[in-house]
């Protein structure tokens, strides 16, 4: 029992970065958590955590030990849940990464529903448009849209999303509608700074069409605002601009040249020994995002 408490304290502090937060979660004092960590390090004969008054960090040995400890605790929790009278009851901490705009609109609301249904789970949602390193940053699941780079990570397709070229009615009235992708060179195209171009069908083939314009930004929400303000054409995901299209604030162009929908994926470090909380969260996303009614309601919101 002492060994289990020591390991639980170690995993809690390593995951939360705080002895006081771990103590509150376990219903004990920070001093007790500290004694458990001291006893664990003394028993193993290695330093697992570097503790100062300002921060707590893992040693090399601690990082290696943490992975095995997390796996053991996950398997134990799943085993207990499977035989308990109440059935499977997930617990533990869930760390999710998602693109900023998409995550705000389509991940955060589902996460609140998830923790209402699974009250023993705590959640941290990190919103960022950069590609996170799941292993290095201890992320349980990352949501990614579009083509996935080759990697050792496991991806699970959750749904799909279409991208459209849009402009405001005022822009169309002033500059007209491009009849084909080749005419984009004559228009002011609002593009992401890191984007190679817009993916469209050209002569029956899906190609990346290079675009240019007077305005570019690394934040898609800004491009959305510029399009609404009549500053140019924008290539945006339907989840972002669907409501504006429904309301007439934006109109689509080049619909006959649209590329096939792109996949929305959950990316996890490994499929084997996937924690129950992660499996259930992925199931919730899949149930919603594969339902056309979900996206229809979202577009009209």
Q: What is the pLDDT of residues 113-150, one digit of tens each?
A: 999 999 989 999 999 888 888 878 888 999 998 777 65
The residue among 245, 244, 224 whose CA lies nearest residue 235 is 224
pLDDT of residue 150: 56
What are the residue ranges in the chain where pLDDT is below 70? 1, 77-88, 149-152, 194, 270-273, 298-301
Q: Which residues have C-beta within 8 Å of that of residue 26, sequence separation ≥ 6?
A: 8, 9, 12, 33
Q: Which two tokens stand for residue 297?
A: 């309601």
pTM of the model: 0.62
Q: What is the pLDDT of residues 175-204, one digit of tens each?
A: 999 999 999 999 999 988 767 789 999 888
Q: What is the C-alpha to C-alpha distance for residues 140 and 127, in angstroms, rounded to an integer? A: 14
pLDDT of residue 106: 93
Q: What angle do CA 98, 99, 102 make, to 5 degrees?
A: 100
The residue among 166, 218, 221 whose CA lies nearest residue 192 is 218
Q: Which two tokens stand for residue 243?
A: 């409501």
pLDDT of residue 3: 86
User: With DSSP H G I counted as helix, E B as strand and the rest as coil, what are the percentages for the chain, rounded to 5?
Assistant: 45, 25, 30
pLDDT of residue 83: 56
pLDDT of residue 85: 42
pLDDT of residue 271: 58
Decide the pairing of beta strands 154-161 and 262-268.
Answer: antiparallel
Q: What is the pLDDT of residues 147-172, one digit of tens each?
A: 776 566 788 889 888 899 999 999 99
Q: Which two tokens stand for residue 229?
A: 């303000």
């Amino acid at each position: 029992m002492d060994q289990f408490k020591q390991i639980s304290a170690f995993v809690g502090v390593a995951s939360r970065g705080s002895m006081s937060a771990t103590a509150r979660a376990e219903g004990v004092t920070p001093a007790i958590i500290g004694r458990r960590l001291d006893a664990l390090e003394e028993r193993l004969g290695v330093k697992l955590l570097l503790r100062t008054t300002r921060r707590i960090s893992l040693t090399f040995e601690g990082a290696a030990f943490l992975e095995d400890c997390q796996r053991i605790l996950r398997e134990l929790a799943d085993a207990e849940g499977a035989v308990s009278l109440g059935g499977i009851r997930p617990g533990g901490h869930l760390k999710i990464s998602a693109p900023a705009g998409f995550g705000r609109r389509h991940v955060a609301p589902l996460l609140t529903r998830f923790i209402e249904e699974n009250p023993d789970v705590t959640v941290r949602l990190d919103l960022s448009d950069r590609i996170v390193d799941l292993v290095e940053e201890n992320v349980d699941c990352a949501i990614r849209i579009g083509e996935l780079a080759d990697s050792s990570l496991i991806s699970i397709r959750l749904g799909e999303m279409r991208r459209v070229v849009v402009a405001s009615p005022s822009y169309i009235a002033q500059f007209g509608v491009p009849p084909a992708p080749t005419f984009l060179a004559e228009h002011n195209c609002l593009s992401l700074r890191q984007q190679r171009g817009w993916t469209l069908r050209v002569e029956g083939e899906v190609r990346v069409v290079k675009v240019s314009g007077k305005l570019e930004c690394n934040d898609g929400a800004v491009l959305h605002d510029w399009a609404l303000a009549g500053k140019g054409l924008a290539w945006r995901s339907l989840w972002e601009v669907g409501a504006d299209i429904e309301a007439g604030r934006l109109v689509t162009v080049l619909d006959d040249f649209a590329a096939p929908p792109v996949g929305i994926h959950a990316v996890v470090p490994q499929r084997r020994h996937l924690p129950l909380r992660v499996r259930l969260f992925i199931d919730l996303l899949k149930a919603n995002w594969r339902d056309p009614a979900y996206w229809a309601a979202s577009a009209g919101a």
